[in-house]
């Protein structure tokens, strides 16, 4: 194969999509194709990471990401250890680095870290010898979510370049938005951010995207609408007037949906606030890719775990 020698994956860690080249992003996506096939087998397991140990280190709540990483690891035959903040010694005051080093001393190959502080995964990667995969660091990045969103769009449209993608809602608090922006702009998609000025400052324009405060002005033009969750736990009261007002201006309602392109693709990283940022009928409707995103997330995370391990 010509491309076999042309490209070599060298990253031991996956910390941020900002760091990745177009070739690296495309490499993850094409590897994910192979892993997607594994999930269709009756024996959904390959021995690629046999004997490796993955630690799921979550300092914030998570359903999808945590389960997805655990399942991805077990489909690759790795062993999975779950580490949760609430029952650990971090509640006794141990620092993240100390905790991680102690766990590493037990023979760990991959840390999957979710942490409320931006840069936590990067910091950790400088203090441990094993691989670190960022599963969300504050409002900074959520690279595997960005990759799975990209994979899902590519699967749906056959390409990413040239797509018009609206990312809507609480942008400022969203690591999903940042990872999506980096990945989509690198691959040549047009990104339009939509949200109220309090949750979407103009400074985002520096990332090479459009910043729009009027959802209705772009709704008929976009191929993809990625609705973000309103992150009530992160929003300061001054940023957000009322839920009803948000829904009225920025919710994906039935009235707005009829003005969308006929083949518009609806995405949401979950968990959804049904009836707030997205109406239930649309989330569960035929143009929703929400559950496809979850299924693809598994394949993408298998690809990421496989690649970072090979680079060790």
The catalytic residue positions are 64-65, 92, 114, 142
- The number of residues that bind other proteins (CB under 8 A) is 28
Q: Is 237 in the site for other proteins (CB under 8 A)?
A: no
Q: Is 76 in the site for other proteins (CB under 8 A)?
A: yes
Least separation in angstroms between residue 110's CB and other proteins is 16
The only residue of 18, 19, 26, 48 in contact with other proteins, by rule CB under 8 A: 48
Burial class (CB in 10 A: 0-12, 13-18, 19+), 253: middle
Q: Which stretch binds other proteins (CB under 8 A): 41-49, 199-207, 217-225, 260-268?
A: 41-49
- Measured at the CA of 216, the angle between CA 210 and CA 219, to 5 degrees, comes to 70
Q: Is 310 in the site for other proteins (CB under 8 A)?
A: yes
Cβ–Cβ < 8 Å for 183, 191: no
Separation CA 166–CA 142 (nearest Å): 18
Least separation in angstroms between residue 69's CB and other proteins is 18
Separation CA 132–CA 126 (nearest Å): 9
Q: Which stretch binds other proteins (CB under 8 A): 4-12, 92-100, 117-125, 279-287?
A: 4-12
Q: Which stretch binds other proteins (CB under 8 A): 23-31, 105-113, 251-259, 283-291?
A: 23-31
- Closer to other proteins by CB, 47 or 286: give it: 47
Q: Is 31 in the site for other proteins (CB under 8 A)?
A: yes
3-state secondary structure at position 146: helix
Burial class (CB in 10 A: 0-12, 13-18, 19+), 22: exposed
Q: Is 88 in the site for other proteins (CB under 8 A)?
A: no
The only residue of 21, 22, 34, 117 in contact with other proteins, by rule CB under 8 A: 34
Helix (H) or strand (E) holding 136: strand 131-137
Q: Which stretch binds other proteins (CB under 8 A): 45-53, 208-216, 242-250, 267-275?
A: 45-53
Q: Is 41 in the site for other proteins (CB under 8 A)?
A: yes
- Closer to other proteins by CB, 33 or 98: give it: 33
CB atoms within 10 A of CB 145: 28
- Closer to other proteins by CB, 36 or 186: give it: 36
Show Cβ contacts of residue 184 under 8 Å, excluding neighbours closer than 6 positions: 150, 160, 163, 165, 191
Q: What are phi and psi of 274, to 5 degrees?
A: -60, 135
Least separation in angstroms between residue 46's CB and other proteins is 4
3-state secondary structure at position 77: coil
Least separation in angstroms between residue 5's CB and other proteins is 6
Cβ–Cβ < 8 Å for 136, 173: no
How many Cα atoms sit within 13 Å of 211 on the Cβ side? 16
Separation CA 277–CA 194 (nearest Å): 12
Cβ–Cβ < 8 Å for 299, 32: yes
Q: Is 151 in the site for other proteins (CB under 8 A)?
A: no
Place of tokens 């960005």: 146
Q: Is 307 in the site for other proteins (CB under 8 A)?
A: yes
Q: Is 175 in the site for other proteins (CB under 8 A)?
A: no
DSSP 305: H
Q: Which stretch binds other proteins (CB under 8 A): 24-32, 104-112, 230-238, 268-276?
A: 24-32
Binding site for other proteins (CB under 8 A): 1, 3-5, 7-9, 27, 30-31, 33-38, 41-43, 45-48, 76, 306-307, 310-311
């Amino acid at each position: 194969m010509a491309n076999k020698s042309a490209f070599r994956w060298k990253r031991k860690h996956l910390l941020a999509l900002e760091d990745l080249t177009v070739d690296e992003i495309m490499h993850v996506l094409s590897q994910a194709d192979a892993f997607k096939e594994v999930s269709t087998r009756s024996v959904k397991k390959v021995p690629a990471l046999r004997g490796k140990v993955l630690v799921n280190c979550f300092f914030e709540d998570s359903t999808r990401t945590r389960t997805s990483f655990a399942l991805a690891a077990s489909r690759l035959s790795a062993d999975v250890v779950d580490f949760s903040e609430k029952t650990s010694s971090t509640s006794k005051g141990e620092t993240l680095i100390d905790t991680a080093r102690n766990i590493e001393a037990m023979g760990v190959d991959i840390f999957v870290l979710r942490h409320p502080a931006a840069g936590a995964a990067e910091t950790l990667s400088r203090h441990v010898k094993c691989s670190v995969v960022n599963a969300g660091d504050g409002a900074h990045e959520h690279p595997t979510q960005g990759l799975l969103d990209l994979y899902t769009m590519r699967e749906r449209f056959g390409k990413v370049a040239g797509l018009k993608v609206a990312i809507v809602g609480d942008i400022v608090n969203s690591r999903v938005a940042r990872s999506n922006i980096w990945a989509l702009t690198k691959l040549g998609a047009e990104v339009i951010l939509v949200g109220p000025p309090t949750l979407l400052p103009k400074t985002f324009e520096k990332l090479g995207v459009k910043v729009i405060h009027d959802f209705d002005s772009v709704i008929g033009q976009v191929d993809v609408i990625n609705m973000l969750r309103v992150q009530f736990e992160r929003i300061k009261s001054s940023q957000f007037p009322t839920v009803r007002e948000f829904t009225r201006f920025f919710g994906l309602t039935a009235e707005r949906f009829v003005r969308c392109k006929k083949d518009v693709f609806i995405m949401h990283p979950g968990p959804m606030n049904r009836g707030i940022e997205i109406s239930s009928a649309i989330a569960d409707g035929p143009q929703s890719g929400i559950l496809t995103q979850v299924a693809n997330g598994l394949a993408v995370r298998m690809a990421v775990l496989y690649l970072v391990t090979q680079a060790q």
